[in-house]
Structure 1
Amino acid sequence: MIRKAKQTDAKAISPLLYNALHEIAEKLTGGTNETEVLEGLEYWFTKKQNRLSYENCFVAERDGKAVGIIVSYHGSDATKLDNKIVNRLRDVKQDSSIILEKEAEEDEYYIDTLSVSSKYGGQGIGSKLISTAETHAQKKGHEKIALLVNLENKSAFSLYKKLGYKQDNTLSLVGEPYAHLIKQI
């Protein structure tokens, strides 16, 4: 079953987010170890109007347990969604120069994060979550959806290609090469 996320999902969802985001999660939370990063992800998940908010998420459930998540929003909202995170990082780190790298384009609905528990991999949950995000974007009147995938993540890259996504660009994010993939919906 796929449903809209709730604030109460935070504890179950934060490890899934961390699994998908890795160094990006560390940058977003300012955490220096796994415990701090997970706490930061839980914090942002429960808050409104930020990129990691439950408001932007759908959850896949099996046997009453959250086993997958997709985070998506329109690219034109990205800067606004990052403002609270950036401001908190600047305060905590005492560094006014902190910025977040641009991921989403202004004219696209953007899949920020997709993660499925390894115990449930290969069961089509990721594909269903992507389909849910695509349908959600269409209902909001959007015609293009996009995502970034680390070029080293061959299985994810293959899945997205199979689902009709095409690479249009390559960029660097936290020092790693990422493919920007798009799909007309």
Structure 2
Amino acid sequence: MTLRPARKSDASEASVLMFDAIEDIAYALTGAEKEEEILPGLALWFVQEGNRLSYQHMLVKEVDQHVVGFILCYHGSEAETIDRPIQERLRQLKNDPSIVVEKEADEDEYYIDSLAVSPGHAGKGIATDLIKAAEEQASRHGYRKIGLIVTIDNKRALDLYKRLGYTLNGEKVIHHSPYYHMVKHLD
């Protein structure tokens, strides 16, 4: 298993995992109205630089030259800037200048936007490896706090985050769904 920064060539496999991770939020970020429009929309954002869903913000876990897990991270202070291209595209696509991409990250945290492991590789420590790599990345950049959101009913993920030292820090509603906001203070 190899842990590495994502590459543009990972778009196809990473987009499938990303859709698994963000589910309904994918419709909001791509402007898709049908499920078959989601993967091409995610792949398009993935290969473009300077946006929230870009490969530039992602680490992947690879097995036999296939992406089997990913983690997407950025600092909360960058959120407005990296959401702007998505917001502008959605405004154009929907002909609605009032569209705003919902902000998930707090300004003072390194943010785990999304994380997924393919079903065939679940339970093998891949998610833990990816989270630890994100924490190391945050520390290298001098960030002392890392945050994430998790759907309230995802007990397995919630238990993993708690085991790794994340604590509940309130709730957020993103795209009409409730999430727990969790944080961890880094040494």
TM-score between the two structures when normalised by the length of structure 2: 0.97
Tell me the residue number matched to 2:65: 64
Alignment of 1:21-100 (within 5 A): 21-100=22-101
Supply the distance in 1 between the matched residues of 2:17 and 2:179 (Cα, whole angstroms). 20
- Does residue 104 of the first structure (1) align with residue 105 of the second (2)? yes
How far apart in 2 are the matches of 1:4 and 1:38?
21
Q: Secondary structure at the match of 2:84?
A: helix
Deviation string 1:59-86 (CA, Å, 9 cap, x unpaired) is 0001111000100000000010000000
* Gap regions ≥5 residues in structure 2: none
Q: d(CA) in 1 for partners of 2:167 and 2:35?
A: 34
Q: Within 1, Cα distance between the matches of 2:50 and 2:83? A: 9
Name 1:123's counterpart in structure 2. Answer: 124
1:100-120: CA deviations, max 9, x gaps? 112101110000000100110
Residue 148 of structure 1: SS of its match in structure 2?
strand
SS of 1:83's equivalent? helix
Q: What letter matches 1:8 in structure 2? A: S
Q: Does 1:176 align with 2:152?
A: no
C-alpha offsets along residues 116-145 of structure 1, whole Å, 9 cap, x if unaligned? 001100000000000010000100010000
Deviant stretches of 4+, over 4 Å: none
The separation in 1 between residues aligned to 2:118 and 2:99, in whole angstroms, is: 31
Q: Write out per-residue CA displacement over residues 24-48 of structure 1, whole angstroms, 9 at most, x where no aligned residue.
A: 0110001112221100100000000
Percent pairwise identity: 45
Take 1:123 and 1:170, find their aligned partners in 2: how far apart are those partners? Answer: 29
The residue type paired with residue 104 of structure 2 is E
Specify the code of the residue in structure 1 equivalent to 2:56: E
* Distance in 2 (alpha carbons) for counterparts of 1:58 and 1:35: 25
Number of the residue aligned with 2:148: 147
Letter in 2 for 1:100: V
Give the aligned length.
185
Moved more, 107-116 or 168-177: 168-177
| CA displacement, residues 130-167 of structure 1 (integer Å, 9 cap, x when unaligned) | 00100001000100000000101111111100100001
Q: Shift of residue 175 of structure 1?
A: 1.3
* Equivalent position amino acid for 1:161 in 2: K
Alignment RMSD, CA only?
A: 0.6
Task: Give the distance between the partners of 1:75 and 1:146, measured in 2 at CA.
Answer: 9
